[in-house]
Structure 1
């Protein structure tokens, strides 16, 4: 009796190298980080040892971690909303304007291909004490603001940079979703006397529901894993006001060498990300 037919054998032959790479470079590191979250010690002669759930308990009791979680939630929410609303509005306008659609689409998409490090350095220059933003404010008689040195203004500057970086990618995704909506729906709505707002509310938004969910989930994941802009622009300061979860994990692992504690925080971040991916897949399946 033949155990595998030719098609199944061929499929496994082509999939095996990819599965091996996936296991070595993705699944094994995730499993090892999960194991590390139950340990303490270091990779020296003393080694690591099992401590159970103590790292997770430390996360709950550490004030800095609570502040970092609050910073991350604030950063994610404040980035997510404009990263959906602004690209959606631009996509609707570009979808109706055929004249310069290609040029404008390329111009808006350009920030997405710039590295986060370069973008962070650029925004740090713009918002430094003697930078162009304060120079512009000075023209209107407004005193310079220590944007990146102020606990109130530092996070909004990081948010503005992140929204600017994500805007073009989300706009292109929305444009693709808009072009998938049949034009006959809009023609029928016009015959029924629907104005532009009614068409947007009753045709465009329902037609873009899967796209909006995809953009929301991918943007949320992008913000949750934000590291470069904090590292380059603020270093988590001032007074820990811009310290986000991934940067906090980096500090605990590679500055404090507390790998078990950092692994516990990373495991919680992975769990939140998996929940977001599950919600997206479930919604897409329902659609």
Structure 2
């Protein structure tokens, strides 16, 4: 007896379903992005665009705006305070790298090498970051006072008292020390997370081979967190180039413009002189410089990811 097996035959009329288009597949994702994109455009790119336009105008809220072309740029470039502010900003950025940049790295490595009380050390190092800035400024003004605790200790061990806030040689250094104490906790958490992701087998193998703590740090820890170091290096350059809050609140650019940064000069043009066109011109120049740093940061980070 012959046994036949029925083979289903697909109808010629049925066509395979086409996969949905990409925009249909991610439609709900795009819809959820619309509010964020609208806020981003309204509060970031729209002000940037208006700032570029205003840099070519003399802004007058009563008589109306007047087109002046490149006059605002010519005016600010002739201002001697612009050169002073650029020098002070570069000096401030350099001090931030020399004094403050390595602090979170050293603390993160030290905490990661601790066998006990790691949680307490992390919390203690991060606490200054959550201190309100008003309290911070009052605290450090008291510490830097000519008869404050720091000068009391200096005079007790035989040194002369230091005028931290009124001496041009010390004013910028004092601000950098204060900001380092307050803000290194945020970078510290990033470095600790990076160190925690390093396989423990590497350290165990190094210890078996007889490597001490310094060799483990040099040949394992630092190369493993190199990407984070480069990223935070560029981010710190951008952040310090824009900073003005501390310089304005503590010394208002003094003494004798020793702490007058570029961003603080923009604030003076806008809200003290009420010359919004020149302030916009200064902002555009800063925007161009920071754009170059941002592009550099993006290329370096993308190159590291590809590698």
Length-normalised TM-score, structure 2: 0.86
Residue 252 of structure 2 corresponds to 235
Equivalent of 1:20 in 23, 29, 38? 38
Q: Is the 8 A contact 1:155 1:242 kept in 2?
A: yes
Q: Is the 8 A contact 2:252 2:260 kept in 1?
A: yes
Residue 127 of structure 1 corresponds to 144
Residue 64 of structure 1 corresponds to 81
Residue 14 of structure 2 corresponds to none
Equivalent of 1:208 in 214, 225, 232? 225
Query: Any residues of structure 2 matched to 1:1-287 within 5 Å, and which?
Result: 6-45=24-63, 47-287=64-304
Q: Is the 8 A contact 2:88 2:260 kept in 1?
A: yes
Q: Which runs of 4+ in 1 moved over 4 A?
A: 1-5
**Unmatched 5+ stretches in structure 2:** 1-17
Shift of 1:177: 0.8
Distance 2:200 2:22 in 1: 48
CA 1:198–1:59 in structure 2 vs 1: closer, same or farther (change >3 Å)? Answer: farther
Q: Is the 8 A contact 2:99 2:177 kept in 1?
A: no
Residue 11 of structure 2 corresponds to none
Distance 1:27 1:41 in 2: 20
Distance 2:263 2:176 in 1: 15
Distance 1:204 1:131 in 2: 40
**Unmatched 5+ stretches in structure 1:** none
More displaced 10-residue stretch of structure 1: 9-18 or 24-33: 9-18
Question: CA deviation digits over 1:97-119, x for unaligned, max 9?
Answer: 13111111111111112233332
Q: Is the 8 A contact 2:100 2:176 kept in 1?
A: no
Q: Is the 8 A contact 2:253 2:261 kept in 1?
A: yes
Count of aligned pairs: 286
Larger Rg: 2
Q: Is the 8 A contact 2:146 2:162 kept in 1?
A: yes
Distance 2:22 2:125 in 1: 51
Q: Is the 8 A contact 2:269 2:275 kept in 1?
A: yes
Question: CA deviation digits over 1:183-202, x for unaligned, max 9?
Answer: 22223333444333333222
